[in-house]
Chains A and B, each alone.
Chain A
């Protein structure tokens, strides 16, 4: 601790006018420099309080949309954390979701409505609508996600 101790020798107080003026100036300087420094505290706090743009929170459960947004025999890509997900509405109107990451070389897969399969454009890998690899190079099925309905809203979460 390098805090100075007062040498409390009585009668040392310098009270002559020039030093009192100097003290006042230094007091003002102290105030000014303190408030300047305070800026470097207030600035981060104000920036912190302003929320950033874009999706606020990486979530385990994502609202993908409303039921009416998904037509029969269609697929919709959405962001599931750091990976893309795909929500399939089967020809019979059932909703299923998977991570849209091909198990072969991690390309993003898509829905092929004419064939009714999930298809990877990179190497023609195919998955059936249960996400099971049926042809082409994919070695494993797609990772399934959970689809939950809350009223009209469709939520998808990591299983």
Chain B
């Protein structure tokens, strides 16, 4: 039965907590909400650990928001001073190195957990009817974290960032029809300049966070509304053998424990490997040798590198970009193509695509990392 705090005897603190709870409950009926969450069931299967990645991504998103807001206190978004201000954060501001390193490392981890989350949902077939929109919003969030990564990378205005942005925006410029438009809008001109920095800054701290908040909100709302998807194998079991746990407090407590561990791990990494800064961007300097994109863009980068100069009438690079866009579109449309509903047979042959995609991504990333 509900272990509501009303029969909790003892401490003054508890009494105050109770009063506060009552105050809100009378106005916003929180008890009902908790009750609702308590009834939300998390199925227990051999693959249950995969359910944590969404929560991890959410937690890291919060870490990004908090550290990002803190960085904003000292960051100056101008070509003249961006580098100097980041150097200032790293060298002069108390714990500035920690905040920036946390932001940088947690960003990488966020992208990784979003990717794992996406593949988990695929392999568990949790995207199926009726959860198409949850998948679609999640896909949008994946795009957003990439955009966050790409735009945030330029902000320190160092040499690597400058050239990575130059190459990255060049690739966008290859898009048919909208390429030149997109390139000019993103760069704020023909070249990567201080204007680009201003635009990327606006994107990174205003537009993208706004969109992300909307999408995260929608994503969470849909999950709470529909509850967790139940794997077909779990549903096949007789009801008395199906094991599950309430989302609140049981699953959430496990979430908390993991978040706590991850925060400690990121802090340790930040202390031992603080984020690097390198040299200030020199628009007239030569591109530093061995320049590569961040790991999460390495696979795309490698595909483009392998493209021949021309395929038929159009350039190989453009073909590669179009192919990747179609792959993205296919992923986005997945729940609308796989017309099965929750509880239908898994269709093992679908796993072939998933395994191929994961292996391909990992291989391409490794090759991109190793190759010159």
A residues lining the B interface (CB < 8 Å) = 1, 3-6, 8, 24, 28, 44-45, 47-52, 54, 56-61
Partner of B81, one of A45, A52, A59: A59
Out of B10, B95, B254, name the residue touching A45 (CB < 8 Å). B95
Given contacts A48-B73, A56-B88, list 11 more A-B pairs with CB under 8 A: A1-B49, A1-B258, A3-B52, A3-B258, A6-B245, A45-B70, A45-B95, A48-B93, A48-B98, A56-B92, A58-B84
Q: Mark B76-94, 1 if CB is under 8 A from A, else 0.
A: 1000110011011000111
Cα(A51)–Cα(B80), bound, Å:
21
Q: Determine if A52 and B94 form an interchain contact, defined as CB atoms under 8 angstroms apart.
A: yes
Q: Tell me the bound Cα distance from A45 to B95 in angstroms.
A: 7
Annotate B233-267 by CB proximity to A: 1 below 8 A, 0 otherwise: 00000000001110000100010011000000000
Classify the interface of chain A: helix, strand, loop or mixed. loop
Q: Tell me the bound Cα distance from A4 to B88 in angstroms.
A: 44
| CB-based contact A60/B84 at 8 Å | yes
A61 touches B88 (CB 8 A): no
- In the bound complex, what is the Cα–Cα distance between A17 and B28 (angstroms)? 33
Judge if B54 is at the interface, Cβ distance under 8 Å. no
> For chain B residues 32-90, which have a beta carbon within 8 Å of chain A?
44, 48-49, 52, 70, 73, 76, 80-81, 84-85, 87-88
Name the distance in Å between A30's Cβ and chain B's nearest Cβ.
11
- In the bound complex, do residue B243 and residue A8 qualify as a contact, i.e. CB atoms below 8 Å apart? yes
Q: Which chain A residue lies CB-closest to B73?
A: A49
Q: Known interface pairs A3-B254, A3-B257, A5-B44. Does A60 touch B93 (Cβ–Cβ under 8 Å)? A: no
Asked if B96 is an interface residue, CB under 8 A from chain A, the answer is: yes
B99 at the interface (CB under 8 A from A): yes
Which residues on B sit within 8 Å (CB–CB) of A50?
A: 94
Q: 20 pairs across A/B with beta carbons < 8 Å?
A: A1-B52, A3-B49, A3-B52, A5-B245, A6-B44, A6-B245, A6-B250, A8-B44, A28-B11, A45-B70, A45-B99, A48-B70, A48-B95, A56-B88, A57-B76, A57-B84, A58-B88, A59-B84, A60-B80, A61-B80
